[in-house]
């Protein structure tokens, strides 16, 4: 194929890809050196692409044909992909290869953003790629649940979903959600409890009798609704508005990785659980007197129930409003934007000697690690937990240790 000097949207060119970037696209270069991000391409492939967007320093494209495939390329297993569903964007990579691809994305972010090239990144063990998701958010069109097409507002009705837990899939496919524009379906895989949260109203929802159904209009008027899930041998309450990790085996794997990061807790270890949610880490790690900081009222109410047998301090506060108290270890699990300046100051303000930073975005991970580095925290390694197989999403636990803890303690 002839080289194209200045491809316009719609033109067809051939590209060799070098690596995967955050978001799952394959990165290649055009003949003029411009970066091209290719949807549907794996590293080290030769692909024919259709250009979809042209900017001065960046071109976007989508794969139309694979000329030389990577060894890990497979046929996507889900029939919904061909119908336009944008939910699982990494299905063309063999599941066993996905943790390694994601580890490379984290290594790249650490190199480019934090200027660190010596932090080991462990891809972790793959988790089952089928029927795993116990929480799913879906759009609703004409009373039926659907997923958005990739990079589009168009909604594709759900005929089946290979990654949804069967108890979720049944509601996704058969549920009637008249009057709603969006639903969140959540189940306890080990308790069998199910819940549908419909936005803006649950007035037209038709679901089996065992399903707790609530509208966001009722929640905003003060109604409470929750289900339970069993994690690490504990029965945890999770309310309609509280965060819960998207799969129980993944939640347990994440807790195990955090446990490896911070080491064994003794009865007098002080643990601060920042962005603590319903108390997952404090409960499963066996903290005796954790300090949990969380801004969601629903999650704090759950945490108080889940930690009722501990000497826990549960603070309904935004992290930036918290006045840090001394701690031995910190677990910090912020939302996608990461710790930012406030979270970094909160972590460092504890003078904890060990920190487990849980991140779901490679760029914010690298930014937070760089910022903590300026305050004396050295990253020892990153461990990935592949909570979301078949998608580009990742979850990573970074272990950091305080260098010169004695000096910092003296000044804390
Ligand atoms: C990724 S979730 C983690 C929750 C919990 N660690 C878990 O694993 O179940 C992030 C949590 O941080 C809370 N959150 C987000 N921004 C916050 C802030 N600025 N201050 C305190 N909590 C916040 C959210 O409500 C959510 O519960």
Ligand 1 surroundings by CB, under 6 angstroms: 243-245, 275-278, 280-281, 293-296, 299, 318-319, 333-335
Q: Which atom of ligand 1 is nearest to the CA of 334?
A: 10
- Residue spans of the domains in the chain: they are 12-73, 95-128+247-411, 135-230
Q: What is residue 202's three-state secondary structure? A: coil
pLDDT, residue 1, reads 47
- Interval between CA 243 and ligand 1 midpoint (Å): 7
d(CA 400, CA 194): 38
Atom 25 of ligand 1, nearest CA residue: 296
Per the annotation, the verdict on 360 as an active-site residue is yes
Determine which one of 85, 88, 161, 360 is catalytic: 360
The one-digit pLDDT tens for each residue of the chain (412 residues) are 444 557 899 999 999 999 999 999 999 998 888 999 999 999 999 999 999 999 988 999 999 999 999 999 999 999 988 888 888 999 999 999 999 999 999 999 999 999 999 999 999 999 999 999 999 999 999 999 999 887 778 898 888 999 999 999 999 999 999 999 999 999 999 999 999 999 999 999 999 999 999 999 999 999 999 999 999 999 999 999 999 999 999 999 999 999 999 999 999 999 999 999 999 999 999 999 999 999 999 999 999 999 999 999 999 999 999 999 999 999 999 999 999 999 999 999 999 999 999 999 999 999 999 999 999 999 999 999 999 999 999 999 999 999 976 555 545 4
Residue among 334, 359, 368, 387 to mutate when testing ligand 1 (max atoms within 8 A of CB) = 334
Residue among 134, 243, 365 to mutate when testing ligand 1 (max atoms within 8 A of CB) = 243
Residue among 135, 251, 295 to mutate when testing ligand 1 (max atoms within 8 A of CB) = 295
- Other CB atoms within a 10 A radius of the CB of residue 411 amount to 6
- Interval between CA 367 and ligand 1 midpoint (Å): 18
pTM assigned to the model: 0.95
| Residue in 197, 282, 274, 269 with CA at minimum distance from that of residue 239 | 197
- Interval between CA 372 and ligand 1 midpoint (Å): 19
| Residue in 175, 174, 173, 179 with CA at minimum distance from that of residue 196 | 175
Atom 19 of ligand 1, nearest CA residue: 318
pLDDT, residue 152, reads 79
Atom 27 of ligand 1, nearest CA residue: 277
Atom 13 of ligand 1, nearest CA residue: 275
Q: Report the topology of domain 12-73.
A: OB fold (Dihydrolipoamide Acetyltransferase, E2P) (2.40.50)
- Interval between CA 292 and ligand 1 midpoint (Å): 10
- Interval between CA 320 and ligand 1 midpoint (Å): 12
| Tokens at 357, concatenated | 């930073």
Q: What are phi and psi of 10, to 5 degrees?
A: 100, -20
Q: Which atom of ligand 1 is nearest to the CA of 273?
A: 6
d(CA 121, CA 398): 9
- Interval between CA 144 and ligand 1 midpoint (Å): 30
Residue carrying structure tokens 């979809």: 52
- Domain 95-128+247-411 superfamily per CATH: Vaccinia Virus protein VP39 (3.40.50.150)
Q: Dmax of the chain from CA atoms?
A: 70
């Amino acid at each position: 194929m002839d080289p194209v000097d200045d491809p316009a949207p719609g033109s067809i060119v051939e590209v060799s890809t070098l690596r995967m970037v955050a978001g799952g696209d394959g990165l290649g270069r055009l003949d003029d050196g411009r970066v091209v991000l290719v949807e549907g391409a794996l590293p080290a492939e030769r692909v024919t692409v259709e250009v979809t967007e042209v900017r001065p320093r960046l071109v976007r494209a989508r794969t139309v044909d694979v000329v030389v495939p990577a060894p890990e390329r497979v046929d996507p297993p889900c029939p919904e992909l061909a119908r336009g569903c944008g939910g699982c964007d990494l299905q063309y990579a063999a599941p066993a290869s996905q943790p390694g691809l994601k580890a490379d994305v984290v290594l790249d972010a650490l190199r480019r953003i934090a200027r660190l090239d010596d932090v080991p990144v462990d891809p972790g063990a793959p988790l089952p790629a089928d029927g795993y998701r116990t929480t799913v958010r879906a759009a609703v069109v004409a009373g039926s649940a659907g997923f958005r097409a990739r990079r589009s507002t168009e909604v594709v009705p759900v005929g089946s979903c290979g990654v949804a837990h069967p108890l979720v899939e049944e509601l996704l496919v058969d549920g009637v959600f008249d009057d709603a524009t969006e639903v969140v379906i959540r189940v306890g895989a080990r308790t069998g409890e199910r819940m549908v949260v419909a936005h803006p109203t649950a007035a037209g929802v038709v679901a089996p009798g065992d399903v707790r159904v609530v509208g966001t209009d009722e929640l905003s008027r003060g109604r409470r609704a929750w289900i339970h899930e069993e994690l690490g041998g504990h029965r945890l309450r999770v309310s309609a508005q509280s965060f819960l990790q998207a799969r129980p085996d993944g939640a347990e794997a994440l807790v195990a990785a955090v446990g490896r990061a911070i080491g064994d807790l003794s009865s007098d270890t002080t643990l601060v659980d920042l962005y603590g949610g319903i108390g997952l880490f404090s409960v499963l790690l066996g903290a005796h007197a954790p300090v949990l900081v969380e801004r969601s009222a629903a999650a704090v109410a759950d945490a108080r129930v889940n930690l009722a047998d501990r000497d826990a301090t549960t603070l309904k506060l935004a992290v930036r409003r918290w006045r840090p108290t001394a701690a031995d270890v910190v677990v910090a699990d912020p939302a996608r934007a990461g710790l930012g300046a406030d979270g970094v100051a909160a972590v460092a303000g504890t003078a904890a000697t060990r920190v487990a930073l849980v991140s779901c975005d490679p760029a914010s991970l690298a930014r937070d690690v760089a910022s903590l580095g300026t305050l004396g925290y050295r990253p020892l390694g990153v461990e990935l937990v592949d909570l979301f197989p078949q998608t580009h999403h990742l979850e990573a636990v970074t272990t950091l240790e305080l260098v010169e803890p004695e000096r910092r303690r003296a000044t804390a």
